[in-house]
Amino acid sequence: MAYRLPALLVMGLSCGPAFGQDITDFTLDNGLQVVVIEDHRAPIVTDMVWYKTGSADEKAGESGVAHFLEHLMFQGTQKMAPGEFSATVSALGGSDNAFTSYDYTAYFQRVSADNLERMLTMEADRMENLDLSQPIVDNERQVILQERSQRVDSNPSSLFQEQLSAAQYLNSPYQSPVIGWRAEMEALSREDALDHYHTFYAPNNAILVVAGDVTPDGVRELATRHFGPLSPSTTIPPRERPQEPPQLAERRIVFKDARVAQPYVMRSYLAPERNAGDQKSAAALTVLAELLGGEPTNSVLAKSMQFGADAPAIYTMASYDGTSVDQTTFNIAAVPAEGTTIQEVENAMDATLQTFLKDGVDQTQLDRIKTQLRASDIYARDDADGLARMYGSALAVGLTVQDVKDWPQILQDVTADEVMAAAQSVLDKRQSVTGWLESDEVTQ
Amino acid sequence: MKILKTAIALICLSLPAYAAVPIQKVTSPGGITAWLVEEHDIPFTALEIEFRGGTSLDAEGKRGATNLMAAMLEEGTGDMDAQAFAAARDTLAADIDFSSNKDMVSVSARFLTENRDQGADLLHSALVAPSFNESAITRIKAQIISGIRSSNQDPEHIARQAMASLVFGNHPYGSDDSGTEESVAALTADDLRDAHAAALARDRVYVAASGDITPEDLGKLLDRVLGDLPATGAPMPADTTLDDKGSTTVVDFPTPQSVVSFLQPGLDVQDPDFMAAYVVSEIVGGSRFTARLMDELRSKRGLTYGAYSNMVTMDHANFMSGHFASDNDKVAEAVQVTRDVWADVAENGVTQEELDAAKTYMTGAYPLRFDGNGPIASILVGMQVQGFDIDYPKTRNQLINALTLEDVNRVAKKLYNPDALRFVIAGQPEGMDQN
């Protein structure tokens, strides 16, 4: 049912499965990690360069600089004119883009396999030789401000979720939005962007992922030729960010906006992330999210809240993604039915959670979810790009290739008892923020 | 939104098959045809089914019936209620998705090889014998009405819907096919049964599959899934005609950034000039940073995060449309720049350099679309819907490469008409005159 789900309900299980046998990895002498994912069904390749830096690595007061730099990485080097990078890719029939998150910044191209070398040449070039003119920087600042208007300020649900994150993190840099706070974005300078670049962009702080019709030896040769000459940085700061203190008191926010047509309640709980060699709690939480709200019909929240004559909700969801450097969140939400207040739907959500914590896991439902997780191994093989993203994001937050390969089995091994233990530990209102998104009755 | 979906579908199928992918035409024992790419590396099959007509078949006064009907197909069949159906589907680890737009009701499915027959039986039941159970209708109606309310507060939807209403009036293309709160609330189980009989019939079905299945097995699957559907459905809606009256309309909505939708008449996908127009459209409104609108509005002036336009070929209308969002204090300038780009193309056409770059991009991007069973099945069903020959993929790049600057500029000058451009702006634009 793909019609008009509110944006909050589209976050699903984002930790997909791993697919073991055709994955190779190695590290160049200068520290560049390389992962090769073979898929020889079509003569196509996706190459991605992941930098282990994101918005959570920015200096205080410079929110948005990681994303601003991502835009500027297309605006010229000593060898290439502004815009020439993308123009070159499209002239070869390829496509390219980039994205920034809290913990990483990634650049990718999709081209026919015989054009891979050209791509690696250009990526290696912009890893070291970015060259920015002031007018270009000034124009691109306008573009990111327009982007913020479009993605966030035009959408009350986005503004609400931005406020919710800011309220969830007292000390962690995850409190600031990836795109940045507007006032700080307006003040970002060419020097700020270049400072972030020189601090974090180096082969020993990057991962190259190549997926498609390639061989490990072929990629090793090309990577060595083009990235090998780059010098590693000796001044990359350790990722020791301010940590979240234990949350001792429940927090609540109410966000009102005249543009809200459909109110809802959303709650985030602080939750542990995946760690190298230690993914069991994250796996249990991943399964818990599926059980509680991963599917719109048979999940615990849906069954309890969306069915029957006086169902209090029309949508419910639960989500968790443990692919994160620091402590992350487990999220649940519910959209009230007509005639139900947000307070009532929140009460119903809490009652459902209490019942679940008392009664435990329905083994049939758990088995079904594990069957689907196993099948997703098969479906994932149809999408080499998806596998590239899975490996890139995991390695960028400090997991290893082995961790990614182990993940599907760890998910399969999760027991009902482990799920309940994870639920007992995380679903504690004292370590949560509950937000209400409401319509502001005062209109224009 | 629906216009956008159609636009995307067009782009996909206008960049069709990788010549090396062999497409087979399969006819089932019962006479249903499908296009197939066999690919046995991964043990699953992707299946795409389209029924022509879509939500434009809604009966008079029943707006939203087809949309609700399609949403109800996964809400129970036979002795299975919605929860039992979802459990059966998930136990097989099958994907079965139903959706609808103004031209099609669509089914998108993936079945593991190990239990494909059971998956096919489940899909068959859902398609042929949906329950339309009262409590499920109430539940799904509430979701749809919530969606309608949200859309009505979304400036992007407001702009697109105002444009559709302006251009298509009382034709089904002119109204939101989710219906209104009132029309959806009034729908009954009988209305859904009527919509089902109107939309899902064998005389309007197109099928494509890609993956771990032989032609023989696909033939059996086609009969299993679709054989029990009625032979015929409702008559198709009428074609529309677009005038070339330009206009500018502002829909007042309190938001910091205005959303702009613009449109002028286009060409039929089977028109001999279509490919030339399609190449010009890529040069003017494609997603490449070198495309005219993107370059002028974003790269040179920072007026927007992205500006696009493309050729849209629906079953009953052909047009060119575009969209962008720009802060209220900048949108008037952005609209003027868009007009200027349009006028320049109408007067001067495109350059040889732009044409060459577009050709290499479009012909090079062509094989990259064929990168998995899911995408291949989607492309194959789209080609059938648009009336392309099964061999079209082998000639498509030649058609593009054969275009001369003279060809494309003759078409550009004939087609692009700044006086025919309609703009709808949802927001609170500063310094914008309406007419």
Q: Where are the domains of chain B?
A: 4-226, 247-379+387-427
B33-38/B205-211 β-pairing: parallel
Cβ–Cβ gap B370/A112 under 8 Å: no
Across the interface, whether the CB atoms of A87 and B147 are under 8 A apart is answered: no
- Comparing CA positions, the residue from B219, B33, B435, B324 lying closest to residue A146 is B324
pLDDT of residue B21: 82
The burial of A249, by beta-carbon neighbours within 10 Å (0-12 exposed, 13-18 middle, 19 or more buried), is given as exposed
> Closest residue of B to A83, CA-based?
B289
What does the block give as tokens for A65?
Answer: 């600089």
A260 contacts on B by Cβ (under 8 Å):
153
Catalytic residues of A: 70
Contact list in A for residue B99 (CB cut-off 8 A) is 1-3
- B191 is written with which tokens? 């209305």
Mutate to test the interface with B, among A136, A299, A382 (most CBs of B within 10 A): A382
pLDDT digits (tens, 9 = 90+) for A11-41: 333 333 334 458 999 999 999 999 999 999 8
The answer to whether A27 and A232 have CB atoms below 8 angstroms apart is: no
Residue A440's pLDDT is 86
B246: phi then psi, degrees, rounded to nearest 5? -75, 160
**Is some CB atom of chain B closer than 8 A to the CB atom of A47?**
no
Name the residue with tokens 């064998």: B202
Which residues in chain B have their CB less than 8 angstroms from residue A364's CB? 87
Question: Taking the alpha carbons of A363, A367, A368, A373 in that order, is the dihedral positive or negative?
Answer: positive
Compare all CA atoms of chain A with the CA of B19 and give the residue at the minimum distance.
Answer: A42
Residue A237, Cβ density class (10 Å: 0-12 exposed, 13-18 middle, ≥19 buried): exposed
CB atoms within 10 A of CB A193: 25
- CATH architecture of structural domain B4-226: 2-Layer Sandwich (3.30)
Interchain CB distance below 8 Å, A112 and B364: yes
Q: What is the mean pLDDT of residues A346-367?
A: 97
Q: Do B147 and A4 touch (CB under 8 A)?
A: yes
Contact A154 B256 (CB under 8 A): yes
The verdict on a CB contact (< 8 Å) between B302 and A381 is no
Cβ of residue A139 closer than 8 Å to a chain B Cβ: yes
Q: Which residues of B touch A154 (CB under 8 A)?
A: 155, 255-257, 259, 325
Q: Would strands A105-112 and B76-77 be described as parallel, antiparallel, or unpaired?
A: unpaired
Contact present, A66 and A111 (Cβ < 8 Å): no
Cβ–Cβ below 8 Å for A307 and B83: yes
User: What pLDDT sits at residue B219?
Assistant: 98
Q: What is the pLDDT of residue B20?
A: 61
Q: Using a CB–CB cutoff of 8 Å, tell me whether A351 touches chain B.
A: no
Closest residue to B150, CB basis, from A44, A262, A298: A262
pLDDT at A11: 31
Contacts of B112 in chain A (CB under 8 A): 375, 378
The residue-averaged pLDDT of A1-7 equals: 33
Which candidate from A139, A154, A385 shows the least CB-CB separation from B325? A154
The rounded distance, in Å, linking the Cα atoms of B314 and B240 is 10
pLDDT per position as a tens digit, A140-183: 999 999 999 999 999 999 999 999 999 999 999 999 999 999 99
Asked if A38 is an interface residue toward chain B (Cβ–Cβ < 8 A), one would say no
CB atoms B86 and A140 under 8 Å? no
Q: Are B411 and B271 in contact (CB under 8 A)?
A: no
* DSSP notation for A351-413: HHHHHHHHH---HHHHHHHHHHHHHHHHHHTT-HHHHHHHHHHHHHTT--HHHHHHHHHHHHH
Q: What is the ipTM of this complex?
A: 0.91
Contacts of A37 in chain B (CB under 8 A): none
Task: Quote the minimal CA–CA distance from A107 to chain B in Å.
Answer: 16
- The C-alpha angle A317, A319, A321, rounded to 5 degrees, equals 170
Q: What is the pLDDT of residue A377?
A: 87
Token pair, residue A354, equals: 């209490």
What is the value of pTM for the model shown?
0.93
Q: Per DSSP, what are the bridge partners of residue B311?
A: B320
Across chain A, mean pLDDT equals 93
As a whole number of angstroms, the distance between CA A30 and CA A239 comes to 19
- Give percent above pLDDT 70 in chain A: 95
Q: Are A48 and A107 within 8 A, CB to CB?
A: yes
Mutate to test the interface with A, among B48, B104, B150, B326 (most CBs of A within 10 A): B150
Structure tokens of A233? 């940085």
10-residue stretch averages of pLDDT, chain B, 435 residues long: 34 37 95 96 97 98 98 97 97 97 98 97 98 97 97 97 97 98 98 98 98 98 98 97 94 97 96 97 95 97 97 97 98 98 98 96 91 94 96 90 97 97 98 82
Contact A93 B82 (CB under 8 A): no
Cα of A77 vs its chain's centroid, Å: 28
Q: Is the pLDDT score of A6 beyond 60?
A: no
As a CATH number, domain B247-379+387-427 is: 3.30.830.10
At residue A309, does pLDDT exceed 70?
Answer: yes
Give residue A1's pLDDT band: very low, low, confident or very high (50, 70, 90).
very low
Q: Contact at 8 Å (CB) between A64 and A231?
A: no
Q: Do domains B4-226 and B247-379+387-427 have the same CATH topology?
A: yes
Residues of chain B neighbouring A112 (CB-CB closer than 8 A): 364, 367-368
pLDDT tens for residues B366-387?
889 888 999 999 999 999 999 9
Residues 59-78 of A with CB under 8 A from B: 74
Look up residue A288 and give its two tokens.
């818990």
Residue of A nearest to B43 (CA): A378
